[in-house]
Structure 1
Amino acid sequence: MGNIKDVTKLTDNPYLNLYHLKGTNRVGKPLNYYIASRVKSMERMKLKTKKNTPDGIIIYSLYGEKRDKVVLVKQYRYSIDGYIYEFPAGLVEEGEDYKEAGIRELKEETGLDLDLIQAEPMYEKPGFMSVGMTDESCATIYGYANGTPSKKGQEDSEEIEIVLADRKEVKRILKEERVAIMCAYMLMHFVKDEDPFAFLDL
């Protein structure tokens, strides 16, 4: 097993920072490794706390009288200089409950309200995003969205199109568009399962 001996913070940004890890690998050779983290101090990094506190929240919600549409966002991302389909998502603010964060983020990004489903904790617990390069983890919440879509709550830095997609459109998106991986897996349930939330054991 590798051994981390020293951690150095290399940047000082508000939402994401780069850290340098020094140590040894599993056979004792020197190791230099770099990771990004959402936390603002080394003491709060998961490699220090050993706790998986969610940095963000992902919202999987259904829409419409028949609950036959899924709420997506088509968002411009600088990392790929292009648009990608995702679930509405966002960061959990310090001291904020992740479910409250999800309800807030859905409202801000889409203008929609969320009737939250109380799912088993195993379906909500934080999962790691891209663990080879970051310690970021996100919890997932589920529910039924209602209201009228609106961009009024979006920030100036966000370029987001609200998408209410039925199964036919989701199939097209999966075939033809860029899709975030954590969203793509859930959309496969949406396409194939009569009840997309059946796996939640409601």
Structure 2
Amino acid sequence: MGKIKEIHAKTANPHVNLYELKAINKNGRDFRYYVASRAKSKETLKLNTHKNPPDGVVIFSVVRGNTDRVVLIRQYRYALDDYIYEFPAGLVDEGEDYHTAAVRELKEETGLKLEPITSAGDFERPFFTTIGMTDESCATVYGYAQGEASGRYLEPNEEIEVVLADRTEVLRILKEENVAIMCAYQLMHFLHDEEPFGFLG
């Protein structure tokens, strides 16, 4: 098993930072590894705390009264210089419950009101996103969305279009568009599951 010898913060940004690890691999050789993290200090990195509070939430919601339509966003992302389909999502504020964060984020990104399903248990717990480069984890919140879609709560640097997609449109999106992987896997289930939340048991 590898071993971490030293950790050095390379940046000091508000939402994401780069850390350099000086480590020894399983063969006893020194090497450097880089981790992007939401942690604001090396002491709060998950490799130090060995705790996994969710950094963010991903919201899988269907339209109240029409569960054949799933709530997606089509968002411009600077990392791609292009648009990508995603579930609404966002960061959990310090001291904020992730259900509360999900309600807030859905409102901010889509104008819709979320009614969370709170009995999902282990399916809601935080899972890691892209562990090869980051210790970020997100909890998934499931529920029903209602109201009128709106962009009035968007920040100036957010370019988001709300998409209430039926299964025909979901299939087209999966075949033709850029899609975030956390969204893509859930949409594959949505295509074939008669009851969108049936797997929650």
The offset of 1:77, in angstroms, is 0.8
Residues in 2 aligned to 1:67 and 1:23: alpha-carbon distance in whole angstroms: 49
Question: Which shows bigger deviation, 45-54 or 65-74?
Answer: 65-74
- The answer for the alignment partner of 2:67 in structure 1 is 67
The offset of 1:128, in angstroms, is 0.7
Residues in 1 aligned to 2:106 and 2:45: alpha-carbon distance in whole angstroms: 27
Residues in 1 aligned to 2:181 and 2:115: alpha-carbon distance in whole angstroms: 25
Residues in 2 aligned to 1:174 and 1:120: alpha-carbon distance in whole angstroms: 26
SS of the residue aligned with 2:190?
Answer: helix
Residues in 1 aligned to 2:24 and 2:51: alpha-carbon distance in whole angstroms: 23
- State the percentage of identical aligned residues: 60
Residues in 1 aligned to 2:121 and 2:193: alpha-carbon distance in whole angstroms: 21
* Maintained 8 Å contact 2:77/2:84: yes
Moved over 6 A (4+): none
1:16-55 equivalences in 2 (<5 Å):
16-55=16-55
The offset of 1:64, in angstroms, is 4.6
Q: Deviations over 1:50-82 (max 9, x none)?
A: 001110000000015222100000011111111
Residues in 2 aligned to 1:39 and 1:111: alpha-carbon distance in whole angstroms: 29
- The answer for the alignment partner of 1:181 in structure 2 is 181
* Maintained 8 Å contact 1:76/1:160: yes
TM-score after normalising by structure 1? 0.98
- The answer for the alignment partner of 1:80 in structure 2 is 80
Aligned AA for 1:173? I
Residues in 2 aligned to 1:25 and 1:99: alpha-carbon distance in whole angstroms: 39
- The answer for the alignment partner of 1:110 in structure 2 is 110
SS of the residue aligned with 1:151?
Answer: coil
Where in structure 2 are there 5+ consecutive unaligned residues?
A: none
The offset of 1:120, in angstroms, is 2.9
Number of aligned positions between the proteins: 201
Q: Deviations over 1:130-176 (max 9, x none)?
A: 10000000000000000000101110011111110011100000010
- The answer for the alignment partner of 1:195 in structure 2 is 195
Would you say 1:134 and 2:139 are equivalent positions? no
Residues in 2 aligned to 1:44 and 1:121: alpha-carbon distance in whole angstroms: 26
- The answer for the alignment partner of 2:167 in structure 1 is 167
Where in structure 1 are there 5+ consecutive unaligned residues?
A: none
SS of the residue aligned with 2:61?
Answer: strand
SS of the residue aligned with 1:183?
Answer: helix
Residues in 2 aligned to 1:82 and 1:106: alpha-carbon distance in whole angstroms: 22
Would you say 1:7 and 2:13 are equivalent positions? no
Residues in 1 aligned to 2:157 and 2:115: alpha-carbon distance in whole angstroms: 27
* Maintained 8 Å contact 1:55/1:136: yes
CA RMSD of aligned residues (A): 0.8
SS of the residue aligned with 2:95?
Answer: coil
Residues in 2 aligned to 1:16 and 1:60: alpha-carbon distance in whole angstroms: 24
Residues in 2 aligned to 1:30 and 1:66: alpha-carbon distance in whole angstroms: 56
